[in-house]
Amino acid sequence: MDQLSQTFQALADPTRRAMLAKLSQGEASVTDLAKPFLKEMSLPAVTKHLKVLEKAGLVTKTKEAQWRPCKINADGLRDVADWMEHYRVFWEESFDRLDAYLKTVTAKEKPKGKKNGRKKK
Amino acid sequence: MDQLSQTFQALADPTRRAMLAKLSQGEASVTDLAKPFLKEMSLPAVTKHLKVLEKAGLVTKTKEAQWRPCKINADGLRDVADWMEHYRVFWEESFDRLDAYLKTVTAKEKPKGKKNGRKKK
């Protein structure tokens, strides 16, 4: 499998994306990284997910520290960002349309004096 | 499978990414879209890839025209862009590092009067 496909494949899993989200806050040991997932899966399963992220160029194990913490490897993310760049015109237009729609919704809701029911995520 | 995982999964294939690249140039009929791939695969195989892209929110079939051309659906791309946004600090730093590296390489190569061997992709 080519590298970019491998990266997209690695991202096609909510557990692996949750691991990246955790690492986006800073380096973490495998034990710390595994903790939130051990209710749903075994440690070997967590380690396997971590290996997929490593092979995809999304996570590396730091070599300096003795406890070898995991951290985000930007290489994989850069490849995705690079690929996405070509499609910017499409997704930016889509963001604009969503924005316009949300403005319409808010404009309609305000006069009725409703509570702020819908929030822009 | 959740929607975002499905979108990443759909992108984890070079044929499907090539189809999106083609559609980024404009709408195309299934026949036109299939043409470059028919040497390597059957029409049903191409149609299957297209269905994966549709389910992932990356491609839609236009309803207006009678020949129902395929076009890019920005929804899937927006979801990916939205997810990527959280990691911008990582991939932008990575782009900067790559840029700095390429500048070093160019600076080293110039005095030797080498031909422009390495190009920035």
Q: What is the residue-level pLDDT of chain B in tens, covering all 121 positions?
A: 999 999 999 999 999 999 999 999 999 999 999 999 999 999 999 999 999 999 999 999 887 767 789 999 999 999 999 999 999 988 888 778 778 888 888 887 765 544 444 444 4
Contact with chain A for residue B93, Cβ under 8 A = yes
ipTM over 0.85: no
Is pLDDT at A61 greater than 80 in this prediction? yes
Beta strands (DSSP E) in chain A are 59-61, 70-72
Q: Lowest-pLDDT range, A35-49, A87-101, B27-41? A: A87-101
**B 20-79 residues inside an 8 A Cβ radius of A:** 20-21, 24, 72, 74-75, 77-78
**Cβ-contact B32, B50 below 8 angstroms:** no
Is pLDDT at A13 greater than 90 in this prediction? yes
Q: pTM of the prediction?
A: 0.80
Contact with chain B for residue A99, Cβ under 8 A = no
Residue among B119, B32, B13, B86 at smallest CA distance from A23:
B86
pLDDT at A111: 58
**CA–CA gap between residue A10 and residue A95 (Å, rounded):** 25
**CA–CA gap between residue A29 and residue A9 (Å, rounded):** 24
How far apart are the CA of B113 and the nearest CA of chain A, in angstroms?
A: 31
Residue among B57, B56, B39, B37 at smallest CA distance from B47:
B37
